[in-house]
């Protein structure tokens, strides 16, 4: 989960670089948009997949290793919120990718909310660590 969150964070940074390029205020020496877009997609897609796999592994481990009923923790609640937002970011991102819409701000805002929810889930996850 640490690795997937770090990847999601770098995906977000690549997304912000794309935003600056789109608005014509790219940092001096920044790579062209195509490179930035490949970077964003190459990080965001695996990050969402890894988070979904981790989300499935969490309750399995709670049930199998801790012998406790799953989804009874604040961590699970925040994790569920985060995963939902990440999936929404992926859906809106795909629309941008395939030129079906130009709602950049919505995608960016959902992505930011997803990262914040994931950070909160991470904080709430530490007490569960063995
Ligand atoms: C997994 C599927 C995803 C796809 C297919 C996707 C695709 C895209 C595309 C096509 C753009 C527009 C680039 C442009 O300006 O032309 C974009 C922008 C952006 N993405 Fe994603 N994205 C995904 C997930 C994420 C995630 C997980 C995050 C954050 C954690 C994120 C954060 C951003 C941000 C901040 C922008 C800039 C928005 C703006 O220009 O205002 N994306 N994304
Ligand atoms: C780096 C941050 C994280 C840490 C340290 C962490 C740690 C943990 C631990 C120790 C457990 C208990 C597993 C066991 O029984 O051994 C757990 C369960 C779980 N985690 Fe995480 N986690 C993190 C991030 C996330 C994120 C981002 C999500 C959502 C995408 C998530 C979703 C879940 C879920 C759904 C459970 C099952 C909880 C339950 O059934 O009550 N976790 N996590």
pTM value is 0.91
Residue-level pLDDT at 79? 98
Let me know the angle formed at the C-alpha of 38 by 36 and 39, rounded to the nearest 5 degrees.
60
Ligand nearest to the CA of 76: 2
Ligand 2 in contact with 21 (CB < 6 A)? no
Going by alpha carbons, the residue nearest to atom 33 of ligand 1 is 15
Mutate to test the pocket of ligand 1, among 44, 101, 112 (most ligand atoms within 8 A of CB): 44
Ligand nearest to the CA of 115: 1
Angle formed by the axes of helices 33-64 and 74-97, nearest 10°: 150
Residue-level pLDDT at 29? 92
Residue-level pLDDT at 130? 83
Domain count, the chain: 1
Domain enclosing residue 116, as ranges: 2-128
| 60 vs 54: CA distance, rounded Å | 10
Residue-level pLDDT at 66? 83
- Tens digits of pLDDT across the chain (130 residues): 999 999 999 999 999 999 999 999 998 999 999 999 999 999 999 999 999 999 999 999 999 988 889 999 999 999 999 999 999 999 999 999 999 999 999 999 999 999 999 999 999 999 998 8
Ligand 2 in contact with 118 (CB < 6 A)? yes
Residue-level pLDDT at 24? 94
Residue-level pLDDT at 68? 87
């Amino acid at each position: 989960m640490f690795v997937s969150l770090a990847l999601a964070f770098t995906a977000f940074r690549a997304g912000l670089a794309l935003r600056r390029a789109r608005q014509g205020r790219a940092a001096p020496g920044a790579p062209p948009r195509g490179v930035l877009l490949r970077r964003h997609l190459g990080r965001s897609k695996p990050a969402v997949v890894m988070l979904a796999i981790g989300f499935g592994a969490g309750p399995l481990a709670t049930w199998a290793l801790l012998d406790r009923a799953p989804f009874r923790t604040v961590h699970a609640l925040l994790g569920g919120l985060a995963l939902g937002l990440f999936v929404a970011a992926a859906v809106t991102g795909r629309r941008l990718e395939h030129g079906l819409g130009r709602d950049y701000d919505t995608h960016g805002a959902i992505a930011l909310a997803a990262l914040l929810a994931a950070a909160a889930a991470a904080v709430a996850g530490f007490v569960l660590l063995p």
